[in-house]
Amino acid sequence: MRFPFTATDFAMLARALLAGLLLACCAPVALAQQAGKSAPVTHNEALAGEYHLDGVMETGSGLLLRTDGSFEWFFSYGALDLGANGRWTRTGNGIDLVVDQVGFPPQMPETRFDRMHLRIDGADLVPSWPWDMDDFHKGAERGAYTRE
């Protein structure tokens, strides 16, 4: 069976979803950062770039790590859409995302989180999921973010 969408179509859709989610939920944070309220961060510029989630069926997720230590993230699983932004730092064998703002459905408060750890595995980032939901279990690793 052949799917009507290519990987490129999916990547374009994912970027559009990310832009819409982040505009809707995170614009106040961006304005605060422009006003000079950002804290110093420790990060590794070699890790900066765009990543997409592989290995999790029926899930679209993207991660943008910027060289200034900020990040943007989106996650779409079935009818659930999440978006977050904040700061990232290199810690031990991985990176930590520290969330400044997260957009989540009010009827699913258990999807709200303030931190996520991703283990570095070669060129991939393996997430430890910060919630319990369906097939996702708090602290469990599932899938991997692969650089674009």
What domain range is 36 assigned to?
7-147
pTM more than 0.75? no
Distance CA(78)–CA(80), nearest Å, equals 6
Distance CA(52)–CA(122), nearest Å, equals 15
Strand ranges inside 56-105, DSSP E? 59-65, 70-77, 80-91, 94-103
Query: Domain with 102 in it: what CATH number?
Result: 2.40.128.500
Kindly state whether residue 2 falls inside one of the protein's structural domains: no
Distance CA(89)–CA(43), nearest Å, equals 5
CA-nearest of 112, 62, 115 to 88 is 115
**What pLDDT does residue 15 have?**
52
The CA-CA-CA angle for residues 20, 25, 31, to 5°, reads: 105
pLDDT tens over the chain, length 148 residues: 343 444 444 444 445 444 444 444 444 444 444 544 544 445 578 999 999 999 999 999 999 999 999 999 999 998 899 999 999 999 989 999 999 999 999 998 988 999 999 999 999 999 999 988 887 889 999 999 999 8
**What pLDDT does residue 44 have?**
76
Kindly state whether residue 120 falls inside one of the protein's structural domains: yes
Pairing label, strands 49-54, 144-147:
antiparallel
Total number of domains in the chain: 1
CA distance to 16, 21, 36, 52, 118, per residue, from 69 (Å): 22, 20, 14, 18, 15
**What pLDDT does residue 52 have?**
98
Kindly state whether residue 1 falls inside one of the protein's structural domains: no
**DSSP string of 107-134?**
T-GGG--SEEEEEEETTEEEEE-SS-BT
Kindly state whether residue 98 falls inside one of the protein's structural domains: yes
Evaluate whether 69 touches 140 at the Cβ level (below 8 Å). Answer: no
